[in-house]
Structure 1
Amino acid sequence: MLIADDQAIVAQGLGALLSVEDDMEVVKIVDNGQKVLEELEKQPVDVILMDIRMPVMNGVECAGHVTEKFPDTKVLILTTFDDDEYISKAIGNGASGYMLKDLTAEKLTAAVRNVHIGNSVLDHLITKKIVGNTGVIREKRKSITN
């Protein structure tokens, strides 16, 4: 696993948290998307845990490059930002998951494991946003209740 976050204490904390799991190994921590791509050229990884806002290249842009150049690598976005634009662009660029940083260690490790085996994961608040912003789903909900 590779961790990409420009806040050193956050990245190091995530690395320490995930490294104690028997089935997870953090091989590198970087602080921007460009470094993610450089590291993947040297050593491919199964999962990237990546923040959105980083210098040089942000996580949304990087996710697109990763899924294009390294299709076997899964991207799990971990961020504080629940902006609709970030969510749609990250998912549109191939991110396998979008989680918010206020989650528990158990939910984070479960999300990483799920993404690793090919599942998609979304924070429950992100799921509510997506469902709430989809007219088709809202219309079906109205017709069921009427």
Structure 2
Amino acid sequence: MIRVLLADDQALVRGAMAALLGLEEDLEVVAEVGSGDEVLEAARRTHPDVAVLDVEMPGLDGISAAAQLTRELPGTRVLIVTTFGRPGYLRRALDAGASGFVVKDTPSHELAAAVRTVAAGGRVVDPSLATEVVIGGPNPLTDRERQVLGEALEGHSAPAIATRVHLSPGTVRNHLSSAIGKTGTSNRVEAARRAQDLGWL
């Protein structure tokens, strides 16, 4: 049996995935959690072969949870299953050690096949996203640019961002200006939204 951990903050979605995977003779759902913060502890307790993680969850996001799992429990493989089919998310997930990345509208038999492939040591990547990643190239934002854009996404002004991230206002403006150029937008809010849409944040 392939032991599976499910992490999704939407109980209905999580329950539906558990029910669908439970119909497969060789798959057993051994844990279900609703936040990224619960993933590592649940995995330590249940020893899953595959952790199926959503990206956007309260607390720790799925990509950060994937990085934790692959670092601390390398025997557990990670499959990201998300509504948000963003190329930047795919690249970040693979960098975090995930072995697979599929979107939630994947048919149930394909999801089960993806779990099996990942459990066997293979990789599964949504083909359309893989193409976009190859065409789009890597995330061009630096860590600092991502940090200040994340604050801008929350609606903070440049001086407020400077205070929150412990940088001078001029340095923050430089990072924002660079990020605006890289995203092809005209202001910090547009840049933050564009970066989020691309999965760069």
TM beyond 0.5: yes
Query: Equivalent residue for 1:131?
Result: 134
Instruction: Render the CA deviation track for 1:31-63: whole Å, top value 9, x for unaligned.
Output: 111111111222211001110000011101000
Aligned with 1:119 (options 113, 117, 122): 122
The question of whether the paired residues in 1 share the 8 Å contact of 2:91 and 2:133 is answered with no
Query: Quick one: which amino acid aligns to residue 110 of structure 1?
Result: A
Query: Equivalent residue for 2:110?
Result: 107
User: How is 1:53-132 mapped onto 2 (pairs within 5 angstroms)?
Assistant: 53-132=56-135
Shift of residue 26 of structure 1?
A: 0.2
Q: Distance in 2 between matches of 1:84 and 1:128?
A: 9
Query: Equivalent residue for 1:24?
Result: 27
Q: Distance in 1 between matches of 2:83 and 2:43?
A: 25
Query: Quick one: which amino acid aligns to residue 24 of structure 2?
Result: E
3-state SS in 2 of match to 1:16? helix
* TM-score normalised by structure 2 residue count: 0.65
The question of whether the paired residues in 1 share the 8 Å contact of 2:36 and 2:62 is answered with yes
Q: Distance in 2 between matches of 1:62 and 1:25?
A: 21
Quick one: percent identity of the two aligned structures?
A: 40
Q: Distance in 2 between matches of 1:123 and 1:84?
A: 10
Gaps of 5+ in 1: 136-146
CA-atom RMSD in angstroms: 1.3
User: How is 1:42-57 mapped onto 2 (pairs within 5 angstroms)?
Assistant: 42-57=45-60
- Greater than 3 Å deviation, 4+ residue runs: none
Q: How many pairs does the alignment contain? A: 135
Q: Distance in 2 between matches of 1:2 and 1:126?
A: 24
Query: Equivalent residue for 1:2?
Result: 5
Bigger Rg, structure 1 or 2: 2
Q: Distance in 1 between matches of 2:116 and 2:28?
A: 12
